[in-house]
Structure 1
């Protein structure tokens, strides 16, 4: 309908209004229509639902096809397929220009959105108008439009209903500017671009209100139908925490935070299911809920409608308790299969995109760690990574920006010659922080479904001058693989070097691990060489400090981080501390990345150590 087209008979001030069918432009399966009227002390909402039960008999061919399809599909992995045959749908859909049989749900609310009463009956819907989302938004903002008052009232009611649901703990939020909203189960979903306006909120809130009212109406009459039940996982946080996280994510507008929260809600919120009994709806925080407003598109709604009409007509229910239970189980199982198929389809598509990007080459420096890891995984597993992807891995290894999983894939999965420079650089990065070797081996064990690496430890000597020996072992495919035995004056350091040796063996690379204790003369000579500033020049400061720790030149080396500034432009401050000859030395570094702040702080601390050593030599001379 054009923005300024007028209905044939504009509603009077005290009329219930013109039934408005709000849907996608060009939609042919219109299940519902609404009227909203402002009352002196509240609102009246009327929802008309297409009478599909009258045209689809239980057990008929159309009914069997609808049951098998469960719901209409509008793209994605299921393609496009309507639940009902096109001819049946065309005959039963709500439409302009004709009287349509409907289930009518009328709910009255007070000023704060509390439902005061509900009436459910049969009705003939007349004079309905079809509007798309854009037309609704335009009309709400146009006081001269004949439908402005009704849609303005509908918009105000939707805001009141949303506020009430939020105050009662429902996981309900809309950010129509960025295109995010919560679905019935409280999970973040994307809103189609054409629907990102007030019309989306009007439809969602009115349908939720009608379904909630009908669930209560049915429960009061002890009607067995298909209720929509929802629960959260045991590991789900309190709903207040989830609401705070939703508020924060939407207020910040960070795409990464929104995506992370979307994944978390999928993890901790179970999918709602149908059952012929009431167990409540966690996401909506309601005692009871049904699906009833889309009988052309969802089979569960058709079942609910048949039960409701039978009760209104004083006839017995068309379903036994056992039949309802069987229908519910079948619908739930089909929905589970769809979710699994969708996940597989999304995973396959993501792999295809990552495969193409990993092999195409180009500049990968702009990718965040998550996106880079996706490309790295394809490139390493399939040995298709481009030279530029491998070079980016080299750069990130030097900057200590690779995770344990990144290192595991490069060192222990990738095998083509393209990855040779990256593999060598990654092992060098691990050698600079040998404790990382334990994490990489543990990741490798987890990926391969085997036990974590084990260590065989021995010690000798007096407590104040003990020597610790350690050897690391990992069983892969039933065959244990061992690294070289390594020694150190600290048990943890011996294990780190042993893990580094095993990692090098598994990667088929030269072993960079070393014994930290070989006797007084060799240790003294190595320490003397290591502490020469010229020997440290050009090397990574963190690597040098780790060597100094292993050689007992310094002790208690520690790096602490703080972050300041907005999330999209953070500033990281690193404080490096170590004990040298009984004194605590502190180095600092402040940059835009965590890794560079660590390197700057390490360099500052190293300069102080070298200055002390140079003064000592000068004094001795």
Structure 2
């Protein structure tokens, strides 16, 4: 690595001009890219606007920039520049005039590895401003005056990306459909103007420059702000996430990519600034920093001041404590911005759903499941019963298109006469498939943090004419709600009808449940249990199965879990398995939560084990 060069800036211009690629109409251009072929590699130069020389620490412009932290271009903050307009106009890189800059020059080897890195002051002339689409057109058009330089820039970006991928960075682009990964590995949706090779050129060249500068600064032991990143404890292993990214981007499904976006947002922490090199998980780098946007990010301005002081052989304007304080303020502000943005998006989404739920003339038959769920949720929670929404709810219920959570919302959250058609259709659909009643009740207990439904079951008669009588009750509150006692020729059938009866009582709707076997007298007593068969009603079937394994009634007890559906409304299927009397016994169940699926699967397995024990005892 070279030593710092002289403080006198070099004047750089020539037949291969530096190119500024940015969004249309941009007037705050931080950086420009220059590319030269050097043997079988390239010399990549990123010119960064010299903002440090024009904004003194502690000045009015500096205080304003620190307060704002970074420029905003939409969202809840609207458009808000970090620096005052006159200061920005004076310091931005621009066409038609010589511009002061910090030049970060990286020798890129054919395999994308960074070789020699030089950093110096420069005055750059002959700058050319292009939009992303204009840059892409120049790459394609051999007659374009910038074709050669942009063709080389495109080639460098592909080489840099390939190396980052080989090194395990969470890096992918799908410019056709408009999806990419951010620095932190989060799946993001690109703006329409960014969906070109121009975007990839900028991203890869800036990441290369920031990476090279972090290494250059670390070798010189310069105290500055690094950009550190970590994954959450629940994040998948790196290779698993890389494989999932490959599959999602190859598939191109918007639903799959959206689900992966939500997953990466939840499991990958937001990167933060710190006065030490802590590594960057998303990029899989030992060190990284932000330095290429000093007009738009305060952290980059701080880094540039430290670099400039070193180049000038002067003392740094910041001590370690100063950098720690700045990092804390920037990180706190960023967290507050993310929370405000989430609240703003949620408010906007709720307002849109509220209007949709109240619409009197609309056609919702073409809405996908996610969009319809948002509409239904808002309508149920706020008791907004627009006729089109209620009619579509009834149609989807009849056709079996509603989830257990959605039926729970319609039956046990929505109210008023306007929802009558939808609520009746939901209960009728459950009556046609009564096993769903247990799932809906399970969801209700989960979302409200309440105890599960309790069942009491009695057995009458002897096989093959055994009759089971079941009754379900809701234990919440001082006076539990009970459904009617229902009979069936199997325990499961009786429980399903009992659950349906309880659900109707909770929803305050006519009870559609049935006795599926000869009703038994209310005063009848159950026969004694089979020898060695414990009474387990009202107890957790998982606990009972664990006890069965401890006393050697069963062995090899295990549970496996699978999931399907969108990330915000998954369906979990649990399979419970054990060995009893030398034979494998298996039961499966599905629910909207893992706990409910496991409990239901355990209940099914317990029922089969008990049936086998009773048969053996007979």
Give the TM-score normalised by structure 1. Answer: 0.78
Matches of 1:381 and 1:66 in 2, distance apart? 42
1:325 paired residue number: 324
Structure 2 residue matching 1:352: 3-state secondary structure: helix
Q: After the TM superposition, which residues 131-210 of structure 1 pair with which residues of structure 2 at under 5 Å, given as runs?
A: 131-210=130-209
Displacement after TM superposition at 1:464 (Å): 7.0
Structure 2 residue matching 1:49: 3-state secondary structure: strand
2:91 paired residue number: 92
1:377 paired residue number: 377
Does the Cα contact within 8 Å between 1:487 and 1:494 map onto a contact in 2?
A: yes
Unaligned regions of 5+ residues in structure 1, if any? 1-8, 522-562, 564-621
2:17 paired residue number: 18
1:63 paired residue number: 62
Comparing 221-230 and 103-112, the one that deviates more: 221-230
Does the Cα contact within 8 Å between 1:10 and 1:146 map onto a contact in 2?
A: no
Q: After the TM superposition, which residues 450-489 of structure 1 pair with which residues of structure 2 at under 5 Å, given as runs?
A: 450-459=450-459, 467-476=467-476, 480-489=480-489
2:314 paired residue number: 315
2:597 paired residue number: none
Structure 1 residue matching 2:480: 3-state secondary structure: strand
Matches of 1:478 and 1:171 in 2, distance apart? 53
Matches of 1:134 and 1:401 in 2, distance apart? 42
Deviations 1:461-515 (A, max 9, x none): 6687655444333355665333233344433333322222221111001122234
Does the Cα contact within 8 Å between 1:291 and 1:304 map onto a contact in 2?
A: yes
Deviations 1:536-584 (A, max 9, x none): xxxxxxxxxxxxxxxxxxxxxxxxxxx9xxxxxxxxxxxxxxxxxxxxx
Matches of 2:461 and 2:499 in 1, distance apart? 23
Displacement after TM superposition at 1:519 (Å): 5.2
2:81 paired residue number: 82
2:231 paired residue number: 232
Does the Cα contact within 8 Å between 1:376 and 1:385 map onto a contact in 2?
A: no
Structure 2 residue matching 1:101: 3-state secondary structure: strand
Comparing 207-216 and 388-397, the one that deviates more: 388-397
Q: After the TM superposition, which residues 433-452 of structure 1 pair with which residues of structure 2 at under 5 Å, given as runs?
A: 433-452=433-452
Matches of 1:195 and 1:335 in 2, distance apart? 24
Label 1:291 to 1:475 Cα distance change in 2 as closer, same or farther (>3 A): farther
Q: After the TM superposition, which residues 3-14 of structure 1 pair with which residues of structure 2 at under 5 Å, given as runs?
A: 11-12=14-15
Matches of 1:405 and 1:215 in 2, distance apart? 49
Matches of 1:295 and 1:237 in 2, distance apart? 34
Label 1:479 to 1:269 Cα distance change in 2 as closer, same or farther (>3 A): farther
Matches of 1:385 and 1:473 in 2, distance apart? 30
Matches of 2:477 and 2:302 in 1, distance apart? 53
Q: Does 1:422 align with 2:422?
A: yes
Does the Cα contact within 8 Å between 1:357 and 1:375 map onto a contact in 2?
A: yes
Displacement after TM superposition at 1:403 (Å): 0.4
Structure 1 residue matching 2:393: 3-state secondary structure: helix
Label 1:266 to 1:464 Cα distance change in 2 as closer, same or farther (>3 A): same
Comparing 209-218 and 94-103, the one that deviates more: 94-103
1:493 paired residue number: 493
Displacement after TM superposition at 1:294 (Å): 0.3
2:50 paired residue number: 51
1:531 paired residue number: none
Q: After the TM superposition, which residues 206-217 of structure 1 pair with which residues of structure 2 at under 5 Å, given as runs?
A: 206-217=205-216
Displacement after TM superposition at 1:161 (Å): 0.6
Displacement after TM superposition at 1:291 (Å): 0.6
Matches of 2:299 and 2:462 in 1, distance apart? 76
Does the Cα contact within 8 Å between 2:469 and 2:520 map onto a contact in 1?
A: no
Displacement after TM superposition at 1:396 (Å): 1.7
Label 1:143 to 1:407 Cα distance change in 2 as closer, same or farther (>3 A): same
Matches of 2:382 and 2:274 in 1, distance apart? 45
Label 1:465 to 1:233 Cα distance change in 2 as closer, same or farther (>3 A): farther
Matches of 2:130 and 2:371 in 1, distance apart? 40
Q: CA RMSD in A?
A: 2.4
2:364 paired residue number: 364
Structure 2 residue matching 1:164: 3-state secondary structure: helix
Structure 2 residue matching 1:408: 3-state secondary structure: helix
Q: Does 1:507 align with 2:507?
A: yes
Comparing 226-235 and 458-467, the one that deviates more: 458-467
Q: After the TM superposition, which residues 281-300 of structure 1 pair with which residues of structure 2 at under 5 Å, given as runs?
A: 281-300=280-299
Structure 2 residue matching 1:401: 3-state secondary structure: coil
Give the TM-score normalised by structure 2. Answer: 0.78
Matches of 1:475 and 1:55 in 2, distance apart? 70
Matches of 1:142 and 1:392 in 2, distance apart? 51
Displacement after TM superposition at 1:58 (Å): 1.7
Aligned length: 511
Does the Cα contact within 8 Å between 1:378 and 1:385 map onto a contact in 2?
A: no
Structure 2 residue matching 1:170: 3-state secondary structure: coil
Matches of 1:226 and 1:22 in 2, distance apart? 26
Does the Cα contact within 8 Å between 2:467 and 2:518 map onto a contact in 1?
A: no
Does the Cα contact within 8 Å between 1:50 and 1:93 map onto a contact in 2?
A: yes
Structure 2 residue matching 1:201: 3-state secondary structure: helix
Structure 1 residue matching 2:256: 3-state secondary structure: helix
Displacement after TM superposition at 1:75 (Å): 1.0
1:117 paired residue number: 116
Q: Does 1:220 align with 2:219?
A: yes
Does the Cα contact within 8 Å between 2:13 and 2:125 map onto a contact in 1?
A: no
Matches of 1:478 and 1:79 in 2, distance apart? 51
Matches of 2:122 and 2:469 in 1, distance apart? 86
